[in-house]
Chain A
Amino acid sequence: MDTVSPVKSLTRRISTIVAGAAGTVVLAGCAQNAPQDTWQPKGDNAQMISALDKIVFPIAGIVGVLVSVFAGYIFWRFRDKGQAIPAQSHGKPIVEIVLTIVPALILTVVGVFTWRTIMDLAETQDTEMIINVTGQQWWWEYDYPAQADQGITQPIITSGQLVIPEDTNVLLRETSRDVIHSFWIPALNGKKDAVPGRIHLLRMQADQPGIYAGQCTEFCGLSHANMRMEAIALSKEDFAKWVANQQKPYTAPAEGTLAKEGEGVFINQCVRCHQVNGIKDANGKAIISAPDENVYSGAAPNLTTLMTRNTFAGAMFDMVNQKCRADVWDAKTEEFGAKYLKGVTEECLNEKTLRAWLRNAPAMKPMYADPAKLEKTNGLYRGMPNLGLTEDDIDKLVAYLLTLK
């Protein structure tokens, strides 16, 4: 009976695993439902990068294959078989000249196309709209300065979902409040670091309405992987409706309702960090949150129109349930705006996750929220702490939050 040596058996097993893993990676490249695929550009800027890729990748691929094959051949052909060392000679001018000129030419071609794309992507003269994008652990804030051309008469502040009008050259002015983050919506442009104390510019333009997913791409701490974002492109008419809704004054819940009680819980517990524009205390005085006194980054998401967003907690969780989410994500282009602008209804609310978040946020998302370990930040939280809310409080809060539309 033939026996296989243990070494051969192990080698065969490792080869199978490596081949399987490589095959999986190759097959993953064929995925169609890949919202963060850089090869599916949905805007002019991403298209520029994709066009550059189509030039650079084949050249790099051919060079890579040629070099690998040639090196492999040399290793195999001249392997040590106990032969005598051949006569040694120094250089061959013609080979050296060719091997200098050819790479130089290739790099020149790649360099010219790359330089042109970089310059085009840095262009800001055609800007039609600006948005300030501020990163902090572990969510993105978007504030829209007043811009009469876009119907924005007073600043708008939101988070998690960046809403832009379709086919409009938007200029993002990126910065950070704590550590370096990186903003990346692959379908709309390349990535750009958000650095504290600096303002970096990133063009953004979407060809058609839809949701475009993104991800922070600079390691920024414990929940870096959970720092997501979505860009929402709306038709110009729908964007105007969104703007109007964001700018409308605050309406307090009716007296005697559960939501009104929830407003009280919000004022007692949440307003320390979270701002709701227009909310007032019992004396009718406007309440201003103080995240700078409680959070390391000095900011917490503004919740004035929380239920117009489909995500929360740095876009980590869906605010709507699976059915409603699919309804918006899979909507036809012409229906997308209306479905998105519906916001979060009582039927669509992902109540289970929202309640779990309110019950114990650090259990849902890794954050530096243990009061006993905050000496380094002088007692300030990185992320949302466990507020110790009762189930009764959570009932009231959910009812109140649902009114923030």
Chain B
Amino acid sequence: MITPGSKYFLGLTGLGLVSAVLYCFLVNPSDLGAYALFGLFISAALIAGFSIFTRDGDVATAAEAVEANTEATAPSFWPIIFALGGALTLLGVATNEIVFVLGLSVLVGGAVEWVIDDWAEKASADSEFNAFVRHRAIGAFDYPGIAAVVLGFIAFLFSRIMLTVSKDEASIIFIVVSAVIFAAGFVLAAKPALRGKTTAIISVVGALVLLVAGVASALSGERKELVKYAKEDVYSVANRGCGKEEGKYYDHEANGSVSLRSGVIATVFVEDGKIRAQEIGIKKDVETITIPRSNSTSILFRNLDAEEYRLVATLGKVKVGTTDVMEEVGTCTQLTGKNEEQVLTVTIPKPSSPEEPFKLTVPGATGEIKVVVP
């Protein structure tokens, strides 16, 4: 029997389908609007199906629905979560994969909870027993699931704040927050009587502060340097000072924290003002490094002298525009202090000329290392 509610959703299904098809033909099949209308069609069809299957919730007409449970079931929010998951999934298909994965997670989680709810409600005529079996069946997953979502939100909001404030401010925030947590923990441990209410107040206040600060940070945007990183191509020669000057857009703290040992084809040292190189697998110093063509290759630069140096790669010459003027192509590391190291990663699409190989130099130090690309 098709009930009035089912007819409504069936009508919406038809309308959604016709609108989606017309949109595809008249506007653009890959447009967001087409996805939305197909989403409407699928959602309405799904609800219509449920509505027909459950006879529009009219249990009096469904003899099999009154097998065991004679009590009215409690309202559930899982169908709404499930529908939200469906909407997010469809939106994710059209926008980006993070939304899609989030939607799919909500969809699956909502479906599982809904199914268990439904099963538990029919377990017996005793609603207390039903609640007990529901808890036994899925209670172990509820709290970790909720905790994961809450932690995800906290991490996301906190990351927005960290991307907005300066490094110094971030340090202060970390000190203050950790001090507050420590103090609160100390007080609660010393005064057990305070635990219930105080914990609730601290949690609510903390959540509100985090929420407000996170939203405010997200609205005000990332700090200046990060915006610059995103907008400027720091790897282009134009933005790279390869002389003695200090670069502006680099993380100076990166020195000494290189962890690319297994990806490094050679190490270039500066020692006593002279440059020398070692290649993986060759026991003695080399004057020439051979690197594969068209493949990103990392060279480690290690400064053993007190003075600051940088490694400069000169990778041939190219014509400037349509003129006959030749300009050197190159790249370099940031200035590197004593016993510090940096990695220079290069990708060279053309072979080197036998007469004029590419080279690695260190301004201010003597010597050079030839780079051959076969």
Scan B333-364; emit 1 where CB is below 8 A from any A CB, else 0. Answer: 00000000000000101110010000000000
Q: With contacts A199-B262, A199-B263, A288-B350 known, is A299 near B290, CB below 8 A?
A: no
A146 on the B face (CB < 8 A): yes
In Å, the complex CA distance between A290 and B349 comes to 8
Shortest CB–CB separation between residue A183 and chain B, in angstroms? Answer: 14
Contacts of B293 in A (CB 8 A): 298-299
* Nearest B residue (CB) for A155: B374
B264 on the A face (CB < 8 A): yes
* Nearest B residue (CB) for A125: B283
Scan A138-153; emit 1 where CB is below 8 A from any B CB, else 0. Answer: 0001010111000000
Shortest CB–CB separation between residue A226 and chain B, in angstroms? Answer: 22
A292 on the B face (CB < 8 A): yes
Q: With contacts A134-B295, A175-B292, A298-B294 known, is A198 near B374, CB below 8 A?
A: no
A275 on the B face (CB < 8 A): yes
Contacts of A132 in B (CB 8 A): 290-292
In Å, the complex CA distance between A291 and B265 comes to 23
Q: With contacts A124-B281, A197-B263, A200-B262 known, is A275 near B351, CB below 8 A?
A: yes
Contact B290 A146 (CB under 8 A): yes
Q: With contacts A198-B262, A199-B262 known, is A155 near B290, CB below 8 A?
A: yes
A297 on the B face (CB < 8 A): yes
A401 on the B face (CB < 8 A): no
Scan A175-212; emit 1 where CB is below 8 A from any B CB, else 0. Answer: 10100000000000000000011111100000000000
Shortest CB–CB separation between residue A195 and chain B, in angstroms? Answer: 9
A402 on the B face (CB < 8 A): no
Contacts of B263 in A (CB 8 A): 197-199
Contacts of B288 in A (CB 8 A): 145-146
B239 on the A face (CB < 8 A): no
* Nearest A residue (CB) for B292: A134
In Å, the complex CA distance between A175 and B288 comes to 20
Contacts of A177 in B (CB 8 A): 292, 294-295
In Å, the complex CA distance between A127 and B288 comes to 18
Please provide the chain A residues from 100 to 133 with a CB less than 8 Å away from any CB of chain B in the complex.
124-125, 127, 130, 132
In Å, the complex CA distance between A61 and B351 comes to 52
Contacts of B372 in A (CB 8 A): 145-146, 154-155
Q: With contacts A132-B290, A156-B374, A173-B265 known, is A127 near B283, CB below 8 A?
A: yes
Shortest CB–CB separation between residue B1 and chain A, in angstroms? Answer: 45
Among candidates B279, B292, B296, B354, residue contacting A130 with C-beta atoms closer than 8 Å: B279
Please provide the chain A residues from 273 to 329 with a CB less than 8 Å away from any CB of chain B in the complex.
275, 288, 290-292, 297-299, 302
Contacts of B262 in A (CB 8 A): 198-200
**Among B290, B291, B372: residue with most chain A CB under 10 A:** B290
Please provide the chain B residues from 262 to 309 with a CB less than 8 Å away from any CB of chain A in the complex.
262-265, 279-283, 288-296, 298
Contacts of B291 in A (CB 8 A): 132
Contacts of A198 in B (CB 8 A): 262-263
Shortest CB–CB separation between residue A381 and chain B, in angstroms? Answer: 14
Q: With contacts A155-B374, A288-B351, A292-B349 known, is A199 near B295, CB below 8 A?
A: no
Shortest CB–CB separation between residue B328 and chain A, in angstroms? Answer: 18
Contact A143 B292 (CB under 8 A): yes
Shortest CB–CB separation between residue A276 and chain B, in angstroms? Answer: 12
Contact A292 B292 (CB under 8 A): no
A171 on the B face (CB < 8 A): yes
A234 on the B face (CB < 8 A): no
Q: With contacts A146-B288, A146-B372 known, is A201 near B280, CB below 8 A?
A: yes
A49 on the B face (CB < 8 A): no
Q: With contacts A127-B281, A130-B282 known, is A157 near B294, CB below 8 A?
A: no
Contact B280 A141 (CB under 8 A): no
Contact A157 B281 (CB under 8 A): no
Contact B280 A199 (CB under 8 A): yes
Contact A173 B280 (CB under 8 A): yes
Shortest CB–CB separation between residue A278 and chain B, in angstroms? Answer: 10
**Among A124, A291, A298, A302: residue with most chain B CB under 10 A:** A298
In Å, the complex CA distance between A275 and B350 comes to 10
Q: With contacts A155-B374, A175-B295, A199-B264 known, is A145 near B279, CB below 8 A?
A: yes
Contacts of B295 in A (CB 8 A): 134, 175, 177, 196, 298-299
Q: With contacts A146-B288, A275-B351 known, is A171 near B294, CB below 8 A?
A: no
In Å, the complex CA distance between A18 and B294 comes to 50
Shortest CB–CB separation between residue B285 and chain A, in angstroms? Answer: 13
Contacts of B296 in A (CB 8 A): 196-197
In Å, the complex CA distance between A155 and B290 comes to 8
In Å, the complex CA distance between A134 and B297 comes to 12
Contact B354 A154 (CB under 8 A): yes
Please provide the chain B residues from 176 to 207 with a CB less than 8 Å away from any CB of chain A in the complex.
none
Contact B281 A173 (CB under 8 A): yes
In Å, the complex CA distance between A125 and B282 comes to 8
Contacts of A275 in B (CB 8 A): 351
Shortest CB–CB separation between residue A294 and chain B, in angstroms? Answer: 11
In Å, the complex CA distance between A364 and B174 comes to 62
* Nearest A residue (CB) for B348: A292
In Å, the complex CA distance between A197 and B265 comes to 10
Contact A297 B282 (CB under 8 A): no
* Nearest B residue (CB) for A133: B292
Shortest CB–CB separation between residue B263 and chain A, in angstroms? Answer: 4
Contact B281 A292 (CB under 8 A): no
Contact A298 B290 (CB under 8 A): no
In Å, the complex CA distance between A302 and B264 comes to 25
Contacts of B298 in A (CB 8 A): 197
* Nearest A residue (CB) for B262: A198
Shortest CB–CB separation between residue B360 and chain A, in angstroms? Answer: 15
Contact A199 B282 (CB under 8 A): no
Among candidates A125, A143, A291, residue contacting B374 with C-beta atoms closer than 8 Å: A143
Contact A157 B349 (CB under 8 A): no
In Å, the complex CA distance between A176 and B194 comes to 61
Contact B294 A130 (CB under 8 A): no
Contacts of A156 in B (CB 8 A): 374
* Nearest B residue (CB) for A293: B349
**Among A132, A154, A302: residue with most chain B CB under 10 A:** A132
* Nearest B residue (CB) for A124: B281
In Å, the complex CA distance between A124 and B281 comes to 6
**Among B281, B283, B290: residue with most chain A CB under 10 A:** B281
Shortest CB–CB separation between residue A217 and chain B, in angstroms? Answer: 20
* Nearest A residue (CB) for B354: A154
Contacts of B289 in A (CB 8 A): 145
Q: With contacts A124-B281, A127-B281, A130-B282 known, is A141 near B350, CB below 8 A?
A: no
Q: List 24 A-B contacts (CB under 8 A).
A: A127-B281, A127-B283, A130-B282, A132-B290, A134-B292, A145-B279, A145-B290, A146-B290, A154-B354, A155-B374, A156-B374, A177-B292, A177-B295, A196-B296, A197-B263, A197-B296, A197-B298, A199-B262, A199-B263, A292-B294, A292-B349, A297-B294, A298-B293, A298-B349
Given known contacts A143-B290, A196-B296, A290-B349, what 4 new A-B pairs fall within 8 Å (CB)? A132-B291, A145-B290, A171-B281, A198-B262
